[in-house]
Amino acid sequence: MLGDRWRGTAHDRENENVAFVTLGTGVGAGIIVKGRLFSGVHGAAGEFGHLCVNPDDEALCSCGKPGCLEQYASATGLVRQAREEFVRRARSSSIAPSPPPTAPRTLRPPMQLPTPRLSP
């Protein structure tokens, strides 16, 4: 965000007010108002992921509250919703499929690199 304002498109267009929203495992944002980073009263102005969009949701967000935007718009939330929909459809189907596959939880051994030889 700051880099874009400093030398990127926000700088090129001479914008003093810029918002940048990120979607990944969470939902976040950076806000620049009148050329200055806006942090808000408690330093959490860019925490859009924890805006409540569905207070009736039974599942709790990682912050402990129900219905946060992050539960729906983040990669983690999308995967959760897809799994819930898979289970819902499987239960309504006459075919009993196996549970959704999960990624293997194994790590690869570290790659061995050759030792560099220095000339005298």
SS3 readout for the chain? CHHHHHHCHHHHCCCCCEEEEEECCCEEEEEEECCEECCCCCCCCCCHHHCECCCCCCCECCCCCECECHHHHCHHHHHHHHHHHHHHHHHHCCCCCCCCCCCCCCCCCCCCCCCCCCCC
**Interval 44-83: pLDDT, tens:** 788 888 889 999 988 888 889 999 999 988 998 889 889 9
pLDDT band at 105 (very low <50, low <70, confident <90, very high): low
Indicate the average pLDDT of the chain: 77
pTM here is 0.58
